[in-house]
Structure 1
Amino acid sequence: MAKDDHALLSGVLDELLQFEFTKIYFAERSRSPAELNFYSERQPYYRFTLPLAGRFYQRIAIDGVYREVCLYPGEAVVFHPFCTNYYTPDYFAAIRRSLAVVLRPGYLRLAYSRPYVDEIRPRVDFHLYDSLRSSTINAVIALGALTNRPEDRDCALALIKPTLRLIARDLAASRGERNGKALNTWHEVADYTLEHCLDDLTREEVARRFQLSDGYVSKLFRRHAGDTFCNYLTRLRLEKAAELLRDSALTVGEIAADCGFHSSSYFIRQFRHCYSVSPGEYRFSHHLNRRRA
């Protein structure tokens, strides 16, 4: 990343730290209504967006119902992992500036959007990885783990500025250099694995897709994900399975098949190993908590 982009994003964070945040929305996981045809985005990551100028339109699920929200500077929207947000026509028509923060495996993505004027790039992306600290990661996760309950919203509003300060600290310590070839390759491989995690994906197929050796693919996963390719793929599938257990009426066997597991018994063993409960117990506990809420 060029040093001028590094400086630009530092200025964006400084500008955001001058705001008083007064409203926050939490986009929840929910079934996507069939009648919505807007451009949609769904990511399995903790992420949030902060407008700096203009209006920011999104259609998100709140309390199980999709509705359009309009955000202004001093407001925020937090996206729970695997939730779907829709970009409405108003989103593309509005003149705005905004910063999106996405916690991805091994790095924090900062995406600054601005109007396209006089050949100035409308989007600046920065992958913060060389100086990213665990305290910053934990702050982003803590913000993303809260909900639309009034007491959670108050906590979230109080967390925004400390989280931004931690990001600004890590950005200041970053070398601000362009990502190396190996890291760019990892990002591409990780995105491809996420996109195709429910298919019959193998390490060998990934290697062929990117013209890499099988051993190099394994090395990428060990270095940047801290795990093997198979374990990483299984974790993605289990996260999708957990979502379906929460939000669908599919049977455990149907969910296992939809998430790339060829054996229900193997799926149940893996799920219990990851979540310490069986799929049925996980579903029951989640629905019980919903009724209590």
Structure 2
Amino acid sequence: MKGTVLIVEDQPNFREGLKFFISQSMANWTVIGEAETGEEGWNKAVELKPDLILMDIHMPVMNGIELAERIHRHNLDILFIIITGFQDFQYAQSAIRYGAMDFLLKPCSDEDISGILDSAFKRLRVKRKEQQATKEHLLRSILLKYQRNQELASHFIQLFQSSQLWLITITDYFPAAKNYRADDLYVLQYGIYNIILELALSEDADAKLLILKEDQFILSLSSSEHTTESWRENAAIAVREYLGIEIDSILLGTSSNIPQLMSVYTDYCEHLTLPTGIPQPEGKSNKHQAVEAVKNEVMSLIISGDHLALQDYFEKVGQQVGILHLTEGKLNVINHTLALDQISEVLGLFSHQSKPVEVLLQMIDQLHNNGELRNWFKDTCRDFTARLERWKQQANPYVNSIQQAIDYIEEHYLDNDLSIKQVAECIHLNPSYLSTLFKKETGETFTGYVTRLKLQKAQVLLRNTDMKISEICQTVGFDDSTYFSSVFKKHFQVSPSEFRQHH
């Protein structure tokens, strides 16, 4: 994975120096364009869609602050770093409100450039991972019919931006000619994933491969007249040659036509006669059937949207576990836990990496009576239900209201009169309701969130400037430097001066 950089700098020597340093020393970044003015930089940003822009603050036609403001106003999903001299820093820091992630101060050393680009790459890697998870969630919600509403559909169309979507199906993960085991699934999936993506990228630089189910992928290709379909045949040949596995692929359609995508996908799956799915090793068929039965039961309750019925189901199973023979109860809990893990994987519910089966068996083996087993299962179901609710809320239109509130706060956090009432009026919600919803969705109160945001901005200034702490206090919206220092230390366990010394 590499990130792309656009350099917007009117000084040719400095621009060329940056370009040379990145090409020679930064393996994670590739310079894809350069511009001498802010206006040219804007046009290149729209055309090239870089991951990161390095922009000087002083440029003809349009300066760096104006360019940052335009990027922010048009919601371009681009990281950017402001290049500035110390004498202009107080002016440059106004770009924080437009989303500037950091500042590169002239004159700067190779270490300065390297450090700031390493930080940007870490930010980019997290962002791409989040985008991948969001896209997979949307695909599963729509194509597998787990959830569907207008808000979800609009988000889907916006995120995929009229891409061509191809369905790739693995017709048999464990062919007779290979000694693969069920435990090899993720290795095989990884191999197939990389083969297909590498060949698709040779056709289209904007190719993305997403996991729909354990035996199905979705390949997203930017709609381009120059895109060919040779990757299909080449991918099938390569997967067959290297892994001995057969794959099938069809064009579902363009992401902007959701009804067509759903119709083509449904028709394909209904008429698919080749063996699909993942066979279980010999001797595990009964366990597999039990897990599948639980998975089907729970999924039907999720799809129906009957939250109380799902709770009743878990409660009923918990009661059974409490009266069964301990060994039988443990088998029941194991089957249910494996089923919930599989559902979590399909829906993308995991907030952390799932435990291997061996670890699960060890944990349950250490439970010595039915009471401990029932309580353990109850905690497992409670955790699953909480993650399921968070998943459902991603498609809730009120979640977008919280994002609107956060965006408004980002723009106006320096306003002295910023209040929950002001934000609520902007996004057309009742202030009391917004306050409750904000705490529920973010885990923070409105005041706590604003305070933390100001402190994060202060960290940037402490790390990159020689401004006095009293000046930074005023810059990020605190009136009293003593109070600022106290709040800063409470949040980060170090004082502002100690933070500066270590960064």
TM-score where L is the length of structure 1: 0.47
Higher helix share: 2
TM-score where L is the length of structure 2: 0.29
Bigger relative contact order (CA 8 A; separation at least 6): 1
Larger Rg: 1 or 2?
A: 2
Higher strand share: 1
